[in-house]
Structure 1
Amino acid sequence: MPYPEGHKVKVRGRIIESAAKAFRSNGIRDISVPFIMKGAGLTHGGFYSHFDNKEQLVSETCSYAIRDTIALLQKAAAQAVEEPKIHAVIQFYLSPYHRDQTEMGCILPALSGEISRSSEVVRQVFTRELQQMIDFVSDLAEIDHSTGSALLSIMVGALVLARSVSDSKLSDSLLEAGKQQAKELIKKQ
């Protein structure tokens, strides 16, 4: 009996969602195809009917994860009532909740170090998606692209450091410092 129309697309989406969660939490190198497929509720034998190799999955997962993060940040911006929308994005991005929810959080702090050692194909996709994220914060804050790059760098850097330390007070202070510096950067514009 044939699968219903759209089945393969849905399964592919489940695999990418599973990969996004796994890569966000554990990086790329330490995650196997069988682990990703299990997370999608599938056996690893079906992987190659959806992807040529893990590199293709990584590329598509980077695209998916950035779009997913932008959608999440758009929701945060939409909830801003009495503050600028970019402030709501900064508040959410540098919140303890976002710091602690690595499996659903932004892929930039999770994978940037590892992507720098990936193939040129993966790096090109990551570069394109990073540009989308810079464009998003620049447009939302109504700032130039260079300042948007700096703003995103502050946010990602603060989150990386906050996730890296074992001292919860230091982690919280890194988030607060990142928020303060990000908002200060926007004021100067």
Structure 2
Amino acid sequence: MVETAARVLRRDGIAAAGVASLMAEAGLTNGAFYAHFDSKEALVAEAIVTALGETRAVMAERIRNAAPGRSLDAVIDFYLDPRHVTHPERGCAVAALGPELARRPESTRAMVDKAIGEYIATIAGALADGHPNSLAVAGAVFASMVGTIQLARASRPARVPSILTAGAAAARKIGQVSMT
């Protein structure tokens, strides 16, 4: 149920996904939903945290498998892949739902913020060893990549490759900055 909700929410948006449609897509009844969750908001929070955890785990694997000195490139290449633009249901929940997440109740935002912190810490692990202020720099890299994906999704398909290329160059440059 949570995995289906994570996919559907990223694909359709939080406002557009009702409990009935989420349960139908999961092959369950509304009764099954209320046996597990008190409200749609509880499912939204858990689904978004799950979605962030899924993409963070893939990113961490890419970092582990990267050639020496290429960890940040692995993060950027993973995140700014054209498939991330065309398949939001399999990508980062922040890129797919950022504006909606900002309007969620404080309890949901707190859970999502914790998951975002873990995501940023994973990106920080891709920066050069001993990078000063690695969490701040990783947060800036993440923000740049999220914005790149959102802009690419809002643009016509012919423009997407140049947006991804420019976004990747910007994220790499940010990754080299020392924020003091």
Q: 2:141 aligns with which of 151, 160, 168?
A: 151
Tell me which residue corresponds to 1:53. Answer: 39
**Structure 2 CA distance, aligned partners of 1:83 and 1:69?**
22
Structure 1, unaligned stretches of length 5 or more? 1-14
User: How do 1:40-189 residues align onto structure 2 when only pairs under 5 Å count?
Assistant: 40-81=26-67, 84-142=70-128, 143=131, 144-165=134-155, 167-189=156-178
Secondary structure, in 3 states, of the residue corresponding to 1:140?
A: coil
Q: Deviations over 1:30-76 (max 9, x none)?
A: 10111111121111221110001011101111211111011121233
Tell me which residue corresponds to 2:25. Answer: 39
Structure 1 position 26, deviation (Å): 1.0
Percentage of pairs with the same residue:
33
**Structure 1 CA distance, aligned partners of 2:90 and 2:69?**
25
Higher relative contact order by CA 8 Å / sep ≥ 6: 1 or 2? 2
Structure 1 position 188, deviation (Å): 3.4
Structure 2, unaligned stretches of length 5 or more? none
Letter in structure 2 aligned against 1:170: R
**Structure 2 CA distance, aligned partners of 1:138 and 1:83?**
13
Secondary structure, in 3 states, of the residue corresponding to 2:17?
A: coil
TM-score by length of 1: 0.86
Q: Which has the larger Rg? A: 1
**Structure 1 CA distance, aligned partners of 2:165 and 2:64?**
22
**Structure 1 CA distance, aligned partners of 2:71 and 2:117?**
20
In the alignment of these two chains, the number of paired residues is 174
Contact 2:75-2:126 at 8 Å conserved across structures: no
Aligned-residue RMSD, C-alpha: 1.4
Structure 1 position 82, deviation (Å): 6.2
Structure 1 position 21, deviation (Å): 0.7
**Structure 2 CA distance, aligned partners of 1:134 and 1:79?**
18
**Structure 2 CA distance, aligned partners of 1:145 and 1:188?**
12
